[in-house]
């Protein structure tokens, strides 16, 4: 180095020089005290940079989360509108082309005595493509700019985001003839749902899928970095936030892991991926999952049978029980029966109801079909519509009837797995309608009784028995005299839920109760429970160091209960703003 | 905590998310945001220094990123692409501040963390303050190149892709930035020592 070059010294200090240059600098430094001093300065600068690298800003992510969340919501909303706009544009274009063609034809042929173009000669408008249809739904909403309740028979579009309440459940029929069972406490985006291409994004909760064997470009389910590729199979995907699981009961799926690896999961297998360690664990399929998947299969079969307009005998009904016949309407429309016809075709239970509730998991290793006890539903009042239950019986009050009656719930909910400890909290269905329902049948008294304590395990800990088989010790709040349709009065369930939420707060585990608390707090009829729910939400956010959300809840509280019991607490939290 | 070195697995995961975003899956963008926001915040922090509106810059970065992702052709690593968006946001911001000729850094309270050792955290905060003061003397373009190389550990080729310049331009900017940074830091150290 003939001259002093500080930048060269930086490269020397950073070991960016090759061996020859390094020796030259070494030699120069021996003779040049000025450069040795400059090198010391460079090294000080590099050390400062090294230390500064360890500093990072403490960010308040709430605003950024909101902005990005709003961006995503807008995209989703725009996407949900797109198919309608596209269809409208296509329809308009076709109509314009036809009109132009017909006009040209008329003008050309006008001088001749040939007959005019008859209306019947004009080709009909192409029908809209296959749609996504909700076969049945309890507690299902479509999330977007406006959250709307979705009922059975409703049609959905690609891009829709669905959310089920904690006690909710839905069966969705995709255009490629695949079926999806959406469990309670789930949020699922129908990212793409075409005849030849399906992509679902599970944000949280659990879905079971029976993919059809139709030829298509792809069928994938995304969740938390996992991508499940499907060929034609029955499987379930869950995302509890802490772990993701993929379970397969038929066929095989390929799972792309977040680290880039891929795994094949075969029938009877389950993989679990902890989101922290990202290490996959191979496990066996649990009986609860098998039951869920078989339920989906039965619904899919029943729906397929209806669409082919075949007669479906009521499984489990007596041989003489009248078969369920689908109407011959539009292929994808709901089979609707008149009230009289429906009354006539009612299936009556001839055996004790307790037999219906027999333990379905008594022989977990036996084939699924033999383990499912036949279920038959009772129709109490003359319905406007009828719909096959998954077991082949008849469920009533499907759309357009607005509210599913409790009489149809047991068969649906009998197979509902118990909530998991790390999932959403076991939110009771507040059903004021249950109070007005007819007197309970012998079996419905047990429907809500086994509301479980959250378990530490995941699916592996699902009950080995059907809910009605054995009830855990009843909670003290449940007074038999107040039993509603489901065995426990809804108000008591809410009280129980609030007690649990409060107890969980002491353990710092209140987050999973937030959704249920909001559900209670939003009740139109304000009372001590709704008031407590609002305050518990605020306290929960506060305990989680989420002051913005906590203050929001306290503001809502003051607005809703200006002279409530916790006004002082709210004012204190808001700093008397 | 230093910026974690990019791993092949992390990059593969980001690329899968990008594919999903391109396939019109907006939820994948939310996941991408969760995965990259710490890195983006730290990079912007070094690029623009302590600013009261760092959160705004992060948001601006993601708003731009959402528009830009469909144009990502996979010719570079996604991390490089993300740094390009950061660089554009930072460049715009630095020029804007320079036009206003205001320095609010002294008014901004320290919001710096560095692990759980409080002594180490204090050292890191002090060093970051000094380094950011020295960086403030550099021009915006030199600062970006210098920060990417010295604080984010990127090579000149990757920086060239991230800032849309040639390799030689990056080398030249880095050369001058090093000289200016050392001189500025020397002055600042002297001033600190001279302070009673």
C-alpha span between A352 and A349 (Å, rounded): 8
pLDDT of residue B148: 94
Decide which of A258 and A36 is more confident.
Answer: A36
Mutate to test the interface with B, among A55, A144, A189 (most CBs of B within 10 A): A55
- Closest residue in A to B173 (Cα) is A7
Min mean pLDDT across A150-154, B7-11, B147-151 is at B7-11
* φ, ψ dihedrals at A221, nearest 5°: -125, 125
Quick one: which of B83, B103, B90 has its CA closest to B153?
A: B83
Min mean pLDDT across A133-137, A237-241, A475-479, B103-107 is at A475-479
In this prediction, residue A29 has a pLDDT band, given cuts at 50, 70 and 90, of confident
pLDDT > 50? residue A332 = no
Q: Which residues of A touch B1 (CB under 8 A)?
A: 54, 56
The arithmetic mean of pLDDT across residues A543-567, rounded, is: 83
pLDDT > 90? residue B172 = yes
Q: Which residues of A touch B173 (CB under 8 A)?
A: none
The torsion defined by the Cα of A510, A516, A518 and A519, in degrees rounded to 10, comes to -170
- Closest residue in B to A16 (Cα) is B155
Taking CB atoms within 8 Å and a gap of at least 24, the contacts of A489-493 are: A489/A435, A490/A428, A490/A429, A490/A430, A490/A431, A490/A432, A490/A434, A490/A435, A491/A529, A493/A428, A493/A429, A493/A430, A493/A448, A493/A451
Min mean pLDDT across A128-142, A377-391, A527-541, B94-108 is at A377-391
List, for residues A1-28, the tens digit of each pLDDT value.
445 677 788 888 888 888 888 888 888 8
Taking CB atoms within 8 Å and a gap of at least 24, the contacts of A142-150 are: A143/A187, A144/A73, A144/A76, A144/A77, A144/A80, A145/A73, A145/A77
Decide which of A262 and A235 is more confident.
Answer: A235
pLDDT of residue B110: 56
Contact A141, A149 (CB under 8 A): yes
The torsion defined by the Cα of A36, A38, A43 and A44, in degrees rounded to 10, comes to 120
User: Which residue in A6, A57, A63 is closest to B179 by CB distance?
Assistant: A6
Are residues A55 and B113, on separate chains, in Cβ contact within 8 Å? yes
- Closest residue in B to A190 (Cα) is B25
Residue with tokens 């729910």: A533
Residue with tokens 């406006």: A146
Q: Which residues of A touch B131 (CB under 8 A)?
A: 48-49, 52
Q: Which residues of B touch A194 (CB under 8 A)?
A: none
pLDDT of residue A131: 77
pLDDT > 70? residue A356 = no
> CA of A160, closest CA in chain B: separation in Å?
11
Whether omega for the bond prior to residue A400 falls within 30 degrees of 0, making it cis, is yes
Beta-carbon pairs below 8 A across chains A and B: 153
Alpha helices in A451-574 (DSSP H): 490-506, 514-521, 528-543, 547-560, 567-574
Q: Which residues contact B105 (CB under 8 A, 6 or more apart)?
A: B49, B50, B51, B132, B133, B136
Can you tell me whether residue A222 is helix, strand or coil? strand
In this prediction, residue A303 has a pLDDT band, given cuts at 50, 70 and 90, of low
pLDDT of residue B168: 94
List, for residues B37-93, the tens digit of each pLDDT value.
989 999 999 998 877 788 889 999 999 998 899 888 888 889 999 999 999 999 888
Instruction: Give rounded-to-5 percent helix, strand, coil for chain A.
Output: 40, 20, 45
pLDDT of residue A467: 39
pLDDT of residue A140: 87
Complex ipTM: 0.85
User: Which residue in A10, A49, A75 is closest to B151 by CB distance?
Assistant: A49
Are residues B179 and A55, on separate chains, in Cβ contact within 8 Å? no
Within 10 angstroms of residue A91's Cβ, the number of other Cβ atoms is 13
C-alpha span between A47 and A68 (Å, rounded): 37
Q: Which residues contact A496 (CB under 8 A, 6 or more apart)?
A: A428, A451, A475, A477, A478, A488
Decide which of A497 and A487 is more confident.
Answer: A497
Are residues A10 and B178, on separate chains, in Cβ contact within 8 Å? yes
pLDDT of residue B101: 56
pLDDT of residue A86: 55
Global pTM value: 0.42
Mutate to test the interface with B, among A56, A143, A218, A228 (most CBs of B within 10 A): A56
| Mean pLDDT across chain B | 83
Within 10 angstroms of residue A63's Cβ, the number of other Cβ atoms is 14
The arithmetic mean of pLDDT across residues A444-457, rounded, is: 37
Q: Which residues of A touch B38 (CB under 8 A)?
A: 56
> CA of B168, closest CA in chain A: separation in Å?
15
In this prediction, residue A160 has a pLDDT band, given cuts at 50, 70 and 90, of confident
Can you tell me whether residue A257 is helix, strand or coil? coil
pLDDT of residue A446: 36
Beta bridge partners of A234: A210, A250
In whole angstroms, what separates CA A278 from the centre of its chain? 22
pLDDT of residue A325: 31
Kindly write down the DSSP assignment for every residue of B168-192, as one continuous string: HHHHHHHHHHHHHHHHHHHHHHHHH
Secondary structure of A33-62 in the HEC alphabet? HHHHHHHHHHHHHHHHHHHHCCCEECCCHH
pLDDT of residue A123: 41
Quick one: which of A285, A356, A354 has its CA closest to A315?
A: A356
List, for residues A225-247, the tens digit of each pLDDT value.
778 888 667 888 888 777 888 88
Q: Which residues of A touch B26 (CB under 8 A)?
A: 71-72, 75-76, 79
The arithmetic mean of pLDDT across residues A409-426, rounded, is: 39
Instruction: Give rounded-to-5 percent helix, strand, coil for chain B.
Output: 75, 0, 25
Instruction: Pull the structure tokens for residue A266.
Output: 């075969």
User: Which residue in B1, B16, B37 is closest to A227 by CB distance?
Assistant: B16
Mutate to test the interface with B, among A57, A61, A275 (most CBs of B within 10 A): A57
Q: Which residues of B touch A201 (CB under 8 A)?
A: 25, 27-28
Instruction: Report how far apart the first and last C-alpha atoms of chain B are (Å, whole number).
Output: 32
Q: Which residues of B touch A67 (CB under 8 A)?
A: 59, 62-63
> CA of A241, closest CA in chain B: separation in Å?
13
CA distances from A92 to A80, A87, A99, A101, A118 (A): 20, 8, 10, 14, 21
Within 10 angstroms of residue A215's Cβ, the number of other Cβ atoms is 9
Are residues B113 and A10, on separate chains, in Cβ contact within 8 Å? no
- Closest residue in A to B185 (Cα) is A45
Are residues B127 and A224, on separate chains, in Cβ contact within 8 Å? no
Contact B49, B106 (CB under 8 A): no
Decide which of A490 and A347 is more confident.
Answer: A490
Kind of pairing, strands A179-182 and A197-210?
antiparallel
pLDDT of residue A173: 86
Run of H or E residues at A187: strand A187-193
pLDDT of residue A3: 59
Name the percent of chain A lying above pLDDT 70.
Answer: 56
Contact B162, B87 (CB under 8 A): yes
User: Which residue in A54, A227, A258 is closest to B1 by CB distance?
Assistant: A54
Min mean pLDDT across A110-124, A325-339, A532-546 is at A325-339
pLDDT of residue B112: 60
pLDDT > 60? residue A336 = no
| Mean pLDDT across chain A | 65
Are residues B42 and A57, on separate chains, in Cβ contact within 8 Å? yes
Min mean pLDDT across A269-273, A373-377, A528-532 is at A373-377
The arithmetic mean of pLDDT across residues A273-298, rounded, is: 78
Name the percent of chain A lying above pLDDT 90.
Answer: 0
C-alpha span between A149 and A399 (Å, rounded): 12
User: Which residue in B28, B42, B179 is closest to A56 by CB distance?
Assistant: B42
Can you tell me whether residue A142 is helix, strand or coil? strand
pLDDT of residue A505: 82
Instruction: Pull the structure tokens for residue A566.
Output: 């916790």
pLDDT of residue A517: 85
> CA of B164, closest CA in chain A: separation in Å?
23
Taking CB atoms within 8 Å and a gap of at least 24, the contacts of A211-215 are: A211/A176, A211/A178, A211/A235, A211/A251, A212/A176, A212/A177, A212/A178, A214/A176, A214/A177, A214/A178
Mutate to test the interface with A, among B128, B145, B171, B175 (most CBs of A within 10 A): B128
In this prediction, residue A557 has a pLDDT band, given cuts at 50, 70 and 90, of confident
Contact A281, A271 (CB under 8 A): yes
CA angle A82, A88, A89 (to 5 degrees): 90
Instruction: Pull the structure tokens for residue A434.
Output: 């249950």
**DSSP E strand stretches across A194-294:** 197-210, 218-223, 226-230, 234-239, 243-250, 253-256, 262-265, 269-274, 280-284
> CA of B98, closest CA in chain A: separation in Å?
22
User: Which residue in B27, B63, B179 is closest to A201 by CB distance?
Assistant: B27
Decide which of A504 and A352 is more confident.
Answer: A504
Q: What is the DSSP letter of B24?
A: T
Query: Mean pLDDT highest for which of A205-214, B106-115, B153-162?
Result: B153-162
The arithmetic mean of pLDDT across residues B156-172, rounded, is: 92
User: Which residue in A45, A72, A222 is closest to B185 by CB distance?
Assistant: A45
> CA of A5, closest CA in chain B: separation in Å?
9
HSE of A357, CA atoms in CB hemisphere, 13 A: 20
């Amino acid at each position: 180095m003939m001259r002093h070059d500080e930048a060269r010294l930086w490269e020397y200090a950073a070991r960016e020089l090759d061996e020859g240059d390094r020796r030259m600098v070494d030699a120069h430094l021996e003779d040049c005290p000025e450069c040795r001093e400059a090198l010391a300065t460079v090294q000080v600068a590099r050390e400062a940079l090294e230390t500064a690298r360890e500093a990072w800003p403490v960010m308040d992510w709430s605003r950024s989360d909101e902005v990005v969340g709003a961006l995503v919501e807008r995209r989703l909303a725009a996407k949900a509108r797109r198919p309608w706009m596209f269809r409208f544009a296509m329809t308009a274009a076709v109509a314009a082309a036809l009109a132009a063609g017909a006009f040209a034809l008329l003008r050309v042929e006008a001088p001749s005595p040939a007959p005019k173009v008859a209306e019947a000669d004009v080709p009909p408008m192409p029908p809209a493509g296959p749609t996504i249809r909700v076969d049945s739904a309890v507690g299902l909403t479509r999330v977007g700019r406006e959250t709307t309740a979705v009922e059975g028979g409703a049609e959905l579009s690609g891009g829709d985001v669905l959310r089920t309440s904690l006690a909710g459940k839905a069966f969705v029929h995709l255009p490629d003839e695949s079926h999806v069972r959406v469990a309670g406490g789930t949020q699922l985006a129908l990212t793409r749902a075409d005849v030849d291409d399906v992509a679902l994004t599970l944000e949280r909760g659990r879905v079971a899928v029976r993919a059809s064997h139709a030829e298509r470009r792809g069928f994938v389910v995304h969740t938390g970095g996992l991508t499940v590729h499907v060929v034609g199979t029955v499987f379930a995907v869950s995302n509890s936030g802490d772990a993701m699981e993929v379970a397969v009961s038929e066929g095989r799926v390929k799972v792309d892991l977040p680290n880039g690896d891929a795994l094949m999961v075969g029938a009877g297998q389950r993989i679990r991926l902890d989101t922290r360690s990202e290490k996959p664990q191979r496990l066996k399929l649990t009986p609860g999952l098998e039951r869920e998947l078989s339920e989906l299969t039965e619904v899919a079969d029943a729906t397929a049978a209806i669409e082919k307009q075949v007669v479906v005998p009521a499984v489990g009904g007596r041989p003489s029980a009248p078969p369920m016949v689908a109407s011959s309407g539009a292929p994808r429309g709901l089979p609707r029966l008149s009230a009289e016809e429906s009354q006539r075709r009612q299936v009556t239970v001839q055996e004790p109801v307790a037999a219906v509730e027999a333990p379905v998991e008594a022989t977990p290793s036996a084939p699924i079909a033999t383990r499912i006890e036949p279920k038959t539903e009772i129709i109490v009042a003359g319905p406007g519509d009828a719909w096959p239950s998954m077991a082949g019986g008849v469920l009533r009050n499907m759309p357009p009837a607005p509210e599913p009656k409790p009489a149809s719930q047991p068969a649906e909910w009998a197979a509902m797995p118990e909530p998991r400890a790390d999932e959403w909290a076991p939110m009771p269905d507040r059903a004021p309608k249950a109070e007005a329902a007819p007197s309970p049948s012998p079996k419905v008294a047990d429907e809500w009784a086994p509301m479980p304590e959250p378990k530490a395990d995941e699916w592996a800990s699902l009950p080995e028995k059907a809910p009605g088989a054995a009830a855990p010790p009843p909670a003290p709040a449940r007074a038999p005299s107040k039993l509603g349709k489901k065995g426990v009065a809804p108000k008591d369930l809410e009280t129980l839920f609030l007690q649990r939420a409060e107890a969980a707060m002491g353990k710092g585990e209140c987050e999973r109760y937030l959704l249920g608390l909001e559900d209670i707090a939003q009740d139109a009829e304000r009372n001590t429970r709704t008031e407590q729910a609002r305050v518990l939400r605020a306290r929960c956010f506060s305990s989680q160091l989420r002051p913005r959300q906590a203050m929001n809840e306290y503001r809502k509280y003051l607005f809703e209960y200006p002279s409530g019991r916790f006004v002082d607490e709210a004012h204190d939290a808001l700093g008397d703003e | 905590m230093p910026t974690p070195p990019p791993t092949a697995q992390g990059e593969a995961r980001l690329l899968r998310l990008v594919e999903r975003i391109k396939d019109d899956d907006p939820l994948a963008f939310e996941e991408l945001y969760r995965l990259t926001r710490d890195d983006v915040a730290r990079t912007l922090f070094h690029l623009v220094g302590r600013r009261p509106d760092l959160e705004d810059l992060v948001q601006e970065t993601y708003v731009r990123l959402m528009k830009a992702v469909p144009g990502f052709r996979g010719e570079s690593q996604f991390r490089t692409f993300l740094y390009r968006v950061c660089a554009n946001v930072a460049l715009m911001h630095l020029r804007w501040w320079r036009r206003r000729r205001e320095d609010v850094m002294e008014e901004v309270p320290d919001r710096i963390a560095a692990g759980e050792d409080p002594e180490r955290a204090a050292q890191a905060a002090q060093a970051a303050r000094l380094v950011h003061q020295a960086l403030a003397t550099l021009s915006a373009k030199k600062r970006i190149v210098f920060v990417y190389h010295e604080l984010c550990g990127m090579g000149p080729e990757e920086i060239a892709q991230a800032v849309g310049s040639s390799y030689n331009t990056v080398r030249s900017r880095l050369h001058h930035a090093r000289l200016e940074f050392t001189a500025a830091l020397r002055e600042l150290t002297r001033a600190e020592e001279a302070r009673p």
